[in-house]
Structure 1
Amino acid sequence: MNYLILTETEFFGLINGNDETINLNAAYGCFVKAVVELLSDNDTDGVKIALAYAENELEYHNTQYLAGGVKSHTDLFVRKALSFVRKMQKQISTSRLQVPPLSTTIHSECEKRNKDTDNIPAIRWTGKASDLVELIYGVSEMGCINDGETSLKEIADYFYKMLGIQAKGCYNIYSDIKMRKNESRTYFLDRAAEKVNRRMQLDEERERMRR
């Protein structure tokens, strides 16, 4: 996990004085979304570290503003962000909060189909919304469905239907992904490639040990 993921948001760019072109209120909203999305990550320890790092940086800014003695518009948002991060830390430590990455609803038709097909259980997407969007765009760009003649919308609709979920804002999520600051913005696809390669290495090591 990228433990600096929250401090690399546009919100931190603003309060650090590195970017004055973004509306502070909008940047704060994106920061909150980033925190909520982070909570759906299965790496609980990593989430705690990322939140702790963000809290530390926000506390530094809050201390600086208090030392200055002058309340400002930015100070208000820093305190709001700090309060929100601390509330999320409390929730994840007490109840191990699990935030659903997408607005999910199992289609009754899918449930009925599963019952009619040897009682196969419903298959649902339980990863983050952005991960699914990365996958959809990756499949679309590779042109591996219908020789690349199927539109992105059709592919997205198919994935959502196949996984038995309802999802909104595919294009909005893609826009958020484009705003990531890392050199590679495809976090999910990069991690997936890394894990698959690692699995193949482990399989090869086990095969050598059996010889």
Structure 2
Amino acid sequence: MTDNPLVPLIARGEADRTTTLAALALEQSRVIPADRRAFLHLAQRATPDAPESAAFFTLLAEGEALAAERLGGFAAACGVSEGRAAAYEPLPGCQAYPAYVAWLALNAAPAEAVLALTVNFSTWGGYCATIAEGLRRHYGFPDEACAFFDFFAEPSPELDRKATEALRAGRDAGRLDEARAHQYGRLLQSYEEMFWSTLHGSAS
């Protein structure tokens, strides 16, 4: 897991509920639908020649839809009203990650996007598991308010299987430049770190 200035604060109960945690909810309310559209576009691009990659991205898009349904409970527990959500100005450093996912959706070979995205999954899942535990222990959040993070913290054998199939098919077809895909993955990890450091800085 990479260095993250904010998740340890949540784990210790030191992040403010109505400012920092609320901002996390509000930023995610922009990230999730943006990523879903990017994954759907990748699935569409991959469908003719890379059905294995298309299946992977379709499953990712379905997961984002499920996550979006769970985000409202967290936002409500942080005191986010509809008016506040409508007036919120997203932070550029937080929205750089979905912007780059959208770039991958337009420019990356599907199998290379699969590899780039999976590189970051374990880090994100670990953050979500830590946050969910901190929310329950220190903030008294009920299961409904933690469901968004529980969802991403839970391992997904089906997603892992589809990723493996997509990468195998990409290699077999000569459509996977692993060096380039890992470069994409490193950039995604950097934007992930920027997301958390931006939130942390906005609360300082």
Question: TM-score scaled by structure 1?
Answer: 0.28
State the structure with more CA Rg: 1
More helix by share: 2
